[in-house]
Every structure is written in structure tokens, then in C-alpha cells.
Amino acid sequence: MINLYSTQIDHISIHRVGNKNRSEGAFLSSEPFGLNDETTQLLKEYFFRPFREKEENYYRFSHEADLEFNELFQAASAIFQDPDQTHNQSKKIASFLYEQSNHPHIKSGELYVTHLSNVMLDNEKVDAIGIFKSELKYEFLQFEENGNNLDMIIQEGININKLDKGCLIFNSEKEEGYKVLSVDSNRYDTKYWLENFLGVEALADENFYTKNYLKFCKDFAKDVVLPAEDKQQEVLFMNKAVNHFAMNDNFEETSFLNEVMDNPELIPEFKHYKVEKGPKYSIEDISEFDIANKAVSDARKKIKNVINLDTNIQIKMDFINPESAEKFVEKGWDEERQMYYYLVYFNKEQKD
């Protein structure tokens, strides 16, 4: 888990990288950019906001031959060894990005390379490197006095409330390829940013396994529980799954299935589904791991506890304890109407 509240920008270099396919070239600044208090606060909000709002999906640098051949790993290692090398290394980073910018869809833009200090990573203070790119340009209006009138001037710039691309490289776990976070608002060229430029792969840690296992459970609920049971049981299964993760520090699959699976006939179905779909989530051989609390919280927010009926009625089961849904909501079949029904128990209606 990261905390960027006290993070300082020690060095920053700004370059412009065009689309090589369109022969737009690259502009490399000869000197680092000089910060002041105003620009520092604006840039910190511009750079860091996406990482506060996004799930923490960690990556690490990799290379098919050897980690030392990864361009960004080399540059990061040089900067961590001597932060005064940030500007020289930033020009190498910009040049390397230009070499990867050869697809017609890739947009030109400004590249910011920063050395950061006082970054809190998993309750430890580390330094980090931030690499950010602004791509999309927006028109905005400026006004200036001209005698007795105001003149309107149309200018073009970036939206400092929306970072297009960025990554944070933490000075941690160097031997494994450092810990890296990435954001990308414009997902039309994800391969270019993550694979071609950064050269990273997903870091298989407790966050990775917790998030992926719960995504796997969500698909199992939709593909198997829903057809075999009904929408209510699909919702209940996911609530029980998330609750199990929330109440335990470690995951053990047999215990999970015995606690969460109401219908024991679905346990073989679950295991078969895991053999078939597990590789998609990189959990095919995983049955035990430490649980990441933040990944559980993020998964809980995404659960849709709503049953949509074809009579234009919605039933929202907003329960912390999923057993409450079985206690207060019953499903049945009306022979006379030849329709299903839900029977809902309550003490009184709540006022808005």
C-alpha cells in the first residue's frame, strides 16, 4: 500500500516525444526543469491523483533474456544509485520511448521524468521514480484587456485533472525487477506502454492472487451458479466469498469451499471450472496464499447485489451478512399465475 502525502519531487525533466511513424521527432531538454512552490503543488496533484484512485496492481520489470537488458530497469538502477543522474537518464528514457512510438495510433506528448523522495510503501519510506506522459490536448479560453474591451484568445493545453499515462518505480525488491505501479487513461495502446516501453509483467503477490481469485469467483458465480440455481444464489455466493476473504488473513481453498458453497454438488463444478478457466487468472495451481485486505475491499465495492426482474422491478440485497438474504427473501412459484415470485419480510418501511 502506498502513501504519497509527504512525497517530494526532487528532480524533474520534461521532454517531448513524437510519433516516430509520422516522423514527428523528439525534443530533449538540455537542463532539468526548475520547480517553484506553485508548480510543485500542481504537478504533485496531476501526477499522484490517479494512483490514489486506482487499484494497486503491481508490476515488475522483466526481459526474456536477462533483467539487465531491460532499458527502464537500467535507467531506474542508475537513478537510484545517483539521483543527480536523473536528467541524463531521462533523456535516455525519452529516446527509448520515441523508438517504441511507431504505431499510427500513438499520440505525441510531453514526458516527465522525476526522482521522488519520502514515498511510503507498505509502511516503509523509500525513494521512487515517476515517469508520466501527457497526450491529449484540449482547447481553452483566455481573456485579456484590450483598451475598453476584453479579447478572447483560444489556446491549447493539457487537462491537469487527468493524467494520460504514468508509472511509479519504487526502490524496492531490485533483484526481482523493482515494484512498479502503472496507470493508463487511454487504453487504446496499452501494449505500447506496458510491454514495449516499460517491459513489465504482473507481480504475483498477495494482492495479485486475492484480486484474481475473487474475479475468478465472480465469473464462476455468473457462468455456473446462476444457471444451476438463480440470481439470488449468485449474489449470495459472491457475498459469502468476499466475506470469507474479509474474515481471514490466509486463504485455503478447501476451507473456502466448505464454508461458502451451500450446494455441495457445485464443488466438483468449481474444481472443473478452475482447471478450465484458472490459467486466465493465473490461479490454476494456487490453493493457498496470504489475503490482501485492500483487494478484498475493492472487490466488495464491485459486487452488484441487485436482482433485475422482467416485470421492471429491482430487488437490492444490501446485506453485510449474506445469510440475511436467505432469512428475509424467499423465492417461490405461483401455480395460478404461472410466475415466479419473491417474498420479502420486513418490520417497517424506512423513510428516505
pLDDT recorded at residue 337: 85
Q: Which residues of the chain have pLDDT under 70?
A: 187-190, 318-326, 352
Contact by Cβ (8 Å): 202, 59: yes
Query: Can you give the pTM of this predicted structure?
Result: 0.76
pLDDT at residue 188, as a whole number: 66
CA 76, 79, 85, 90 dihedral sign is positive
Are 79 and 201 a contacting pair, CB within 8 Å? no
Q: What pLDDT, on a 0 to 100 scale, did the predictor assign at position 326?
A: 67
pLDDT tens-place string over residues 193-247: 999 999 999 888 888 999 999 999 999 999 999 888 887 788 888 888 998 999 9
Mind listing the pLDDT tens digit for each residue in 176-190? 999 999 999 876 666
Confidence (pLDDT) at 228: 84
- Label each residue of the chain as H, E or C: CEECCCCEEEEEEEEEECCHHHCCCEECCCCCCCCCHHHHHHHHHHHHHHHHHCCCCEEEECCCCCHHHCHHHHHHHHHHHCHHHHHHHHHHHHHHHHHHCCCCCCCCEEEEEEEEEEEEECCEEEEEEEEEEECCCEEEEEEEEECCEEEEEEEEECCCCCCCEEEEEECCCHHHCCEEEEEECCHHHHHHHHHHHHCEEECCCHHHHHHHHHHHHHHHHHHHHHHHCCHHHHHHHHHHHHHHHHCCCEEEHHHHHHHHCCCCCHHHHHHHHHHHHHHHHCCCCCCEEECCHHHHHHHHHHCCCEEECCCCCEEECCCCCCHHHHHHEEEEEECCCCEEEEEECCCCCCCC
Backbone dihedral region for residue 111 (phi beyond 0: left; psi -120 to 50: alpha; all else: beta): beta
